[in-house]
Amino acid sequence: MKVTELAKEFGTTPDTVRYYTRLKLLNPAKSVNGYKSYSNKEVSRLKFILSARNLGFSVADIKEIINESEDGKSACPLVRSLIKERLEETEKQFQAMLALRGKMSSALSRWEEMEDKAPTANMVCHLIENFEQIKKA
Amino acid sequence: MKVTELAKEFGTTPDTVRYYTRLKLLNPAKSVNGYKSYSNKEVSRLKFILSARNLGFSVADIKEIINESEDGKSACPLVRSLIKERLEETEKQFQAMLALRGKMSSALSRWEEMEDKAPTANMVCHLIENFEQIKKA
DNA sequence: TTTAAACCTGTGTGTAAGACACAGGTCAAG
DNA sequence: CTTGACCTGTGTCTTACACACAGGTTTAAA
């Protein structure tokens, strides 16, 4: 299988496949003409990678998981521990986005009934600069 | 004012100040010794930048806003239009994170009562690979 | 068989928003 | 005058790919 064929097989892009290949998550043989040739093993490997990405694992995580399994060990304990970390991070980011969304939406509605103002020497836009004060130390 | 002083003034890092300076959002004079010297104007400029970042504007947005205001025009219309875009993006990302969080958390709890398995030729980790099927084309 | 268009290849670089590394400069205390 | 602490600018690294590009391959028509 060539790069583009493999990518289409799972609805991803050739660039993504090439990226994983550069990181040696996939290890295709070299075809006569220098093209990369992916075997069935690579196909299921890619499927695994995409599933893991879908679940929030980083590419570095995935590399670690694969290394573990190539040592013949069960990757399950590692996988459980990693997803705990990632879930915590996701939760933090989620809360941050929740707060940001609220701020943005409140700014938007407040700004719709405020007038335009020309900039001054030390004020670029009064909408932004008066919305929330950044505290000085 | 030197880089570190300015950074501390607003609870940010010298690297951040240097980054904005590289992008010419801040335009310090050069001190005799080659150090950058920030005036009062730069101080309020940084405050503006941090406020805008806080509200979800990208650094590129901020550059655009500053350019507008340096042409003497009111940046308010641009600011309103930009925040609408950014809010939409944020909303999309928010929904994506919500879904991801759900998936991760359900995976975590499901995996806690599943056994470890050794890897096989075409299976790296059954927890991940059996969680959700990636569809073939 | 020749040729041309369409498609594909690998490699190299660009992206956002800073964080980090590093060799050297500056400054106060002794 | 020297030490040590702190600071400086510049350059590189990060994530997870997307994009650009010069050239190779394949298919179809001529």
Tokens of B37: 């010297």
| ipTM of the complex, rounded to two decimals | 0.88
Residue B27 to residue B40: CA distance in whole angstroms: 11
Length of chain A: 137
Confidence tier at A118 by pLDDT (50, 70, 90): very high
Residue A42 CB contacts under 8 Å (≥ 6 apart), including other chains: A1, A6, A26, A27, A28
A119 and B75 within 8 Å at the Cβ level: the answer is yes
Predicted confidence (pLDDT) at residue A32 exceeds the cutoff of 90 = no
Residue A102 CB contacts under 8 Å (≥ 6 apart), including other chains: none
pLDDT-above-70 percentage for chain A: 96
Q: Where are the domains of chain A?
A: 1-73, 85-137
CA distance, residue A60 to nearest chain B CA (Å): 15
- Indicate the pairing of strand A36-37 with strand A29-30: antiparallel
Confidence tier at A63 by pLDDT (50, 70, 90): very high
**Looking at domain B1-73, which CATH architecture does it have?**
Orthogonal Bundle (1.10)
Which pLDDT value is given to residue A133?
Answer: 64
Contact, B5 CB vs strand C, < 7 Å: no
Residue A4 to residue A14: CA distance in whole angstroms: 5
B76 and A125 within 8 Å at the Cβ level: the answer is yes
Residue type, A117: K
pLDDT per residue as tens digits for the range B18-57: 999 999 999 999 887 888 999 999 999 999 999 999 999 9
Lookup: nucleotide whose C1' is closest to A37 CA: C9
